[in-house]
Amino acid sequence: MSSLSKSISSPIPVGHFISVQDNLRLHYHEVGQATAERPTLVFLHGSGPGASGYSNFCKNYMFFAGLGYHVLVPDYLGYGLSDKPDNIAYTSSLHVQVLHELLDQKQVRRAVLIGNSLGGAVAFQYALAYPEQVDRLVVMGPGGVEDPALWAANMSGLAAMGKVIQGRKTDRESFRELLHHIVASPQSITEEVIDSRLPVWKAQPPEVFSTMKVEVFAERLADLNMPVLCLWGAKDNFLPVRHALRVAELIKDVRVVLSSRSGHWFMLEEPDYFNREVQCFLG
């Protein structure tokens, strides 16, 4: 199945599907084909209710496709239009395994991983497991930097998300209020943003969140040898901005960008700046 238009039954454009993990369907968008001349750009979304690759990166991936890059934008299992079984554990390790299957099937030998939040943690974990395949990393407010026991209780965005998830709140206004915690400016949350995420959230089984486990890397980040670009919104209510300094301390070759104009969704709140910064980083 392939289409870039929305339908009544789909809150986001329908792309392509492949089979992974014992015949589960993984949904992804793709522009171009893998080549030896340039790495593939892989966009990895976060873990919020209703997330998908398209809803996280709709203002970014076509910009890079227009520059001639092969682009992949997957939905993790449990998210977007991918299958959402209730009998698996939705860990970062699972997402790394599935990403490896996707890149293998698409014959991608060199990749730049671009990940937000959970996607940043998946990018770190993948690069540590398969360093020969990863040219560079771009992470925005990445998870996995420090044990959540040291910081999670102080993050207002996580508290708001926990209330929505635990209460299975699927009404539009509760969902809108949650999304307002993610961004620096409420104007960023348009009706279109809600329309692209709320139906996905309604379809997600509780296990997507109750079994979520993200690898914590801490000192292992020092083992990363590829160049890294880290962007962080100073108004992030989900992951501590101080983690940006930890990233700068640990990773050998890293550039860190902080912005007072963004919250947790740097790539959506400042898309033009984000796209230019990443373009420059790619060289």
- pLDDT tens sequence across 17-33: 999 998 999 999 999 99
- The whole model's pTM is what? 0.96
The answer to whether residue 264 is catalytic is yes
Q: If DSSP codes are grouped into helix, strand and coil, which group holds residue 55?
A: helix
- Whether residue 218 is predicted with pLDDT greater than 90 in this model: the reply is no
Mean pLDDT of 68-91: 98
Where are the domains positioned within the chain?
16-282
Mean pLDDT of 190-208: 98
d(CA 83, CA 103): 18
Nearby residues of 234 by Cβ (< 8 Å), 6 or more positions away? 241, 258, 259, 260, 262
Nearby residues of 51 by Cβ (< 8 Å), 6 or more positions away? 45, 79, 80, 197, 200
- For the chain, counts of helices (H) and of strands (E): 11, 8
The candidate with the shortest Cα–Cα distance to 141, out of 129, 162, 155, is: 155
d(CA 254, CA 16): 34
Nearby residues of 15 by Cβ (< 8 Å), 6 or more positions away? 2, 3, 4, 27, 28, 29, 30, 54, 73, 81
Nearby residues of 87 by Cβ (< 8 Å), 6 or more positions away? 207
Please give the single-letter amino acid code of residue 110: R
Nearby residues of 269 by Cβ (< 8 Å), 6 or more positions away? 183, 184, 185, 188, 233, 261, 262, 263
d(CA 247, CA 160): 26
Strand order in the sheet with 228-233: 16-20, 24-31, 71-74, 40-44, 111-116, 134-140, 228-233, 254-259
- Whether residue 13 is predicted with pLDDT greater than 60 in this model: the reply is yes
The pLDDT-based confidence of 5 (bands split at 50, 70, 90) is very low
**CA-atom Rg of the chain in angstroms:** 17
Mean pLDDT of 150-173: 96
- Whether residue 8 is predicted with pLDDT greater than 60 in this model: the reply is no
The candidate with the shortest Cα–Cα distance to 114, out of 243, 252, 266, 283, is: 266
The pLDDT-based confidence of 176 (bands split at 50, 70, 90) is very high
> What is the four-CA torsion angle of 16, 27, 9, 45, rounded to 10 degrees?
-130
Distances (CA, A) of 130 to 16, 23, 122, 125, 187: 25, 24, 12, 9, 39
Q: What pLDDT is attached to residue 1?
A: 32
The pLDDT-based confidence of 7 (bands split at 50, 70, 90) is very low
Residues of the chain above pLDDT 90, percent: 96
d(CA 172, CA 127): 37
The pLDDT-based confidence of 9 (bands split at 50, 70, 90) is confident
For the domain made up of 16-282, the CATH class stated in words is alpha beta
Strand 16-20 relative to strand 71-74, pairing: unpaired
Mean pLDDT of 115-134: 98
pLDDT in tens, 242-278: 999 999 999 999 999 999 999 999 999 999 999 999 9
